[in-house]
Amino acid sequence: MSFIIGSFDRFFHGFLRKEYTRDLEDGFGQYLPCVIHGLRVVQGRSLEFQCVLTEYGAGAGFLAPIEAFCWREPDEVRASPVLDYTYIQPWDCFSNEFGVHAFELHRRMKALILPDRRGARYCFSIDFTGSSLADMSEQHKHLHVMQMDDGSMGAFPNNRVLWVEPAMWAKPFEERPDFMALSGEWMAE
């Protein structure tokens, strides 16, 4: 069964960049408070968040791409809609069929996002199925939705995330581990 919209276990307050309510023509540097309460996942597109714009009481179904949202007002204002997607969502959604889960181990855990080790904090994860790419063992990726230290939101695959938890390991890894994707499929019978 295909799902395109869904929700996560906890809504959160954030901001929508006003330019996304103005077709990216103006409104840069202005932020509209919102409650982010759902998401829309379409294969081959950016993850979209669903929100309510709290100053207007509007938008139960207001959708915008992840790059339109902030969890806090950023320190720097974007001058244009041209973005480096490496640090927002380096992969489009892999399928319309997905599940949302918050891993307790990672809940609110800090992370470093590769390649530049930008700081972030974990929110929840999205896993995909139902497409050849999503179901291919070597290519399967789920996206971890993160609050970036600069105020923006991002969604990153496992191979872009280094977890930071001093209680579990002494320091973040200095070098990328020499791992290869596990190929093949595993079955009980």
Q: In this structure, are residues 81 and 19 in contact, taking their beta carbons and an 8 Å threshold? A: yes
Q: How far apart are CA 72 and CA 33, in angstroms?
A: 9
Residue 186 has pLDDT above 80, yes or no: no
Q: So what's the pLDDT on residue 108?
A: 78
Q: How confident is the model at residue 167 (pLDDT cuts 50, 70, 90)?
A: confident
For 29, counting Cβ atoms within 10 Å of its Cβ (0-12 exposed, 13-18 middle, 19+ buried), the class is middle
Between 96 and 87, the more confident residue is 96
3-state secondary structure of 67: helix
* Mean per-residue pLDDT, 131-146: 81
Highest mean pLDDT among 20-34, 45-59, 104-118: 20-34
> How far does Cα 146 stand from its chain's mean position?
6
What integer best gives the mean pLDDT of the chain? 85
Q: How far apart are CA 142 and CA 86, in angstroms?
A: 16
**CA dist list (Å): 152 to 85, 116, 138, 172:** 12, 16, 30, 22
Percent of the chain's residues with pLDDT above 70: 92
Q: Is the dihedral of CA 91, 92, 98, 101 positive or negative?
A: positive
Q: In this structure, are residues 82 and 88 in contact, taking their beta carbons and an 8 Å threshold? A: no
* Mean per-residue pLDDT, 17-30: 91
CB burial readout 140-151, b (16+ within 10 A) else e: bbbbbbbbbeeb
Residue 172 has pLDDT above 70, yes or no: no
Q: How confident is the model at residue 2 (pLDDT cuts 50, 70, 90)?
A: low
